[in-house]
């Protein structure tokens, strides 16, 4: 069993109203069932240096309020690091911004979703090819997940397998190669996190023609989505070294 720590690349902070619950790395550790000593956090958005890949079981990339299409220096450096890591076979799991950054790193296209914002507890459908995926294979054909994003993977990287979609977004999850995954949804979000995000975005939602109260009413638990993150950790722990 590979007991090396996981590397968490911190690419952003939660909305200010949710900061009392900690940062994304803490939410991810809790959702993934990792102890504090099981993860090393590098805040790449704040300019911390990207480490050597040696000694890490795998990498998890957080969400962010930043935009991949802005091509900020820290983001592009992180994309280069992720590209090299994925090509070297390092297990990678990107969440929301991390999903988009991984797709960009591997040659996909990321930009504003033509349909605008997706937010709340959404229903995802698995594609048939997900049945053979080690993370998504055990899931039901349809499950719920928490989502909040304006940008999206407009075109998955060449050679990627798209695993799940919502009615709004055609690429909610993909796998590239044998050990790199991106998920547009937030497996680390609880219903409390999701409600906090909806409340923080009420003005924007209203301006965009969404009913924030209806979105709040529909927020619920998403245990199947959380299991995807836990399966990534379990899968990586049991890979031959």
pLDDT digits (tens, 9 = 90+) for 6-44: 999 999 999 999 989 999 999 999 999 999 999 999 999
If pLDDT is split at 50, 70 and 90, which confidence band does 177 have? very high
- Assess whether 171 carries a catalytic annotation: no
The pLDDT of 118-131, averaged and rounded, is: 98
In Å, what is the CA distance from 199 to each residue of 15, 30, 205, 215? 10, 23, 9, 10
Q: How far apart are the first and last CA of the chain?
A: 8
Q: Is the pTM of this model over 0.85?
A: yes
In Å, what is the CA distance from 8 to each residue of 53, 67, 97, 207? 12, 19, 13, 34
CA atoms within 13 A on the CB side of 211: 6
Distance, C-alpha 31 to centroid of its chain: 12
Catalytic residue among 10, 99, 149, 188: 188
**Residue-level pLDDT at 1:** 87
Nearest to 27 by CA among 96, 118, 122: 96
Catalytic residue among 99, 144, 186, 210: 186
- When computed from its CA atoms, the radius of gyration of the chain, rounded to whole angstroms, is 16
Residue with tokens 């949710």: 18
Give Cβ neighbours of residue 190 (< 8 Å, ≥ 6 apart).
221
pLDDT at 113 over 80: yes
Task: Give yes or no for a contact between 21 and 14, defined as CB atoms under 8 angstroms apart.
Answer: yes
Kindly list the structural domains of the chain, giving each domain's residue range(s) and its CATH number in brackets, ordered by start: 6-237 (3.40.50.880)
Catalytic residue among 96, 144, 168, 193: 96
- Assess whether 96 carries a catalytic annotation: yes
- Assess whether 188 carries a catalytic annotation: yes
pLDDT at 241 over 80: no
3-class SS of residue 227? helix
């Amino acid at each position: 069993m590979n007991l090396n720590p996981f590397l968490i690349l911190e690419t952003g902070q939660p909305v200010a109203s949710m900061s009392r619950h900690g940062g994304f790395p803490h939410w991810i550790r809790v959702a993934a069932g990792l102890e504090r000593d099981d993860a090393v956090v590098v805040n790449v958005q704040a300019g911390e240096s990207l480490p050597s890949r040696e000694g890490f079981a795998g990498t998890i990339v957080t969400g962010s309020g930043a935009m991949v299409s802005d091509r900020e220096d820290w983001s592009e450096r992180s994309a280069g690091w992720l590209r090299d890591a994925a090509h070297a076979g390092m297990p990678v799991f990107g969440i929301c911004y991390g999903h988009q950054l991984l797709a960009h790193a591997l040659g996909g296209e990321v930009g504003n979703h033509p349909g605008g914002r997706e937010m709340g507890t959404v229903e995802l459908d698995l594609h048939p090819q997900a049945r053979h995926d080690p993370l998504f294979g055990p899931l039901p054909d349809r499950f719920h997940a928490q989502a909040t994003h304006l940008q999206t993977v407009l075109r998955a990287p060449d050679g990627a397998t798209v695993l799940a979609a919502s009615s709004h977004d055609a690429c909610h999850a993909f796998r590239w190669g044998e050990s790199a995954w991106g998920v547009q949804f937030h497996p680390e979000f609880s219903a409390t996190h999701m409600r906090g995000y909806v409340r923080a975005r009420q003005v924007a939602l209203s301006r965009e023609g969404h009913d924030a109260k209806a979105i709040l009413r529909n927020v619920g638990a998403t245990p199947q989505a959380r299991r995807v993150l836990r399966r990534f950790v379990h899968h990586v722990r049991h890979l031959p070294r």
